[in-house]
Amino acid sequence: MFKQTLLIGLIAAMATFSGATLQPARGDDSGFVPMFDGKTLQGWKTTGNWTVQPGGVIALTPRPGESGWQRFDAYLMTTRKYKDFVIDLEFKIAKEGNSGVFLRVGNRREPVKTGFEVQILDTHGLANPGNHDCGGVISATAPNKNMAKPAGQWNHYTITCRGRHVQVVMNGTQIIDLDLDQSPLKDRPNEGYIGFQDEAKLVWYRNVRIKELK
């Protein structure tokens, strides 16, 4: 009787655990929701070699012969558009690494022309970073301080897009406070896809979360 009761209890516990693992991702108390399920690239679209690694890390490992940044279909892009939001994430690059967080992309085939990019680049220690260096909004504004860590270390971005206002916090310090209408990016839309650039160089992302703003 004891063995039978124990077996029933174990089966019930396994069923409960199994059911829990199948539940969709939920937001935390701060309103952030994971953008990846930790196992697949569901909700995203790409022809690049992006994979999910242990711990839910999203990794790009370029295939032999891949190079350059103009392979736009290889970028990892959401399948839906976002308007006002806060996106919070960590990233890591290898030596001489290069990637970027694309925001409000109107056309996935033309992310550079129809969205804007917060740069990811191996520029740790650079004295006077420009808009093409890590933390900059390309073609618009440079970070007010170089907060990029050395290659191989995890960095943290919190990017807020509300109306025409964009703020970037990197590793705990606000480095960008941008009015799109007062920049060369004034023609960019208020709503679009979110993506990560495939520059054919190693890059890793983790803990990618979003909070949509009303």
In this prediction, residue 12 carries a pLDDT of 38
Q: Tokens 């606000």 sit at which residue?
A: 174
Q: For 32-43, how does the pLDDT look when each residue is reduced to its tens digit (9 = 90+)?
A: 999 999 999 999
Q: Which residues contact 62 (CB under 8 A, 6 or more apart)?
A: 49, 198, 200, 201, 202
Buried b (16+ CB within 10 A) or exposed e, 80-101: eebebbbbbbebbbeeebbbbb
Q: Which pLDDT band holds residue 9 (cuts at 50, 70, 90)?
A: very low
Q: For 48-74, how does the pLDDT look when each residue is reduced to its tens digit (9 = 90+)?
A: 999 999 999 999 999 999 999 999 999
Q: What does DSSP say about strands 155-162 and 116-121: parallel, antiparallel, or unpaired?
A: unpaired
SS3 141: strand
Among 180, 178, 208, which Cα is nearest to 194's?
A: 208
Q: Which residues contact 197 (CB under 8 A, 6 or more apart)?
A: 69, 75, 98, 99, 100, 101, 102, 111, 117, 120
Average pLDDT, the chain: 90
Give φ, ψ of 118 to 5 degrees: -90, 115
Q: Which residues contact 22 (CB under 8 A, 6 or more apart)?
A: none
In this prediction, residue 17 carries a pLDDT of 31
Q: Half-sphere exposure of 94 toward its Cβ, with a 13 Å CA cutoff?
A: 9
Q: For 155-199, how does the pLDDT look when each residue is reduced to its tens digit (9 = 90+)?
A: 999 999 999 999 999 999 999 999 999 999 999 999 999 999 999
Amino acid making up residue 70: Q
* CATH number belonging to the domain at 33-212, selected among 1.10.1510.10, 3.40.640.10, 2.30.40.10, 2.60.120.560: 2.60.120.560
The residue extents of the domains of the chain are 33-212
Give φ, ψ of 42 to 5 degrees: -60, 135
In this prediction, residue 27 carries a pLDDT of 55
Q: For 133-156, how does the pLDDT look when each residue is reduced to its tens digit (9 = 90+)?
A: 999 999 999 999 999 999 999 999
Q: Which residues contact 75 (CB under 8 A, 6 or more apart)?
A: 46, 48, 102, 108, 111, 195, 196, 197, 198
Q: Which residues contact 103 (CB under 8 A, 6 or more apart)?
A: 87, 115, 116, 117, 118, 159, 161, 166, 192, 194
Output DSSP code: residue 150: P
> Do residues 179 and 5 lie in contact, with contact meaning Cβ atoms separated by under 8 Å?
no
CA dihedral 54, 55, 57, 61 (to 10 degrees): -20
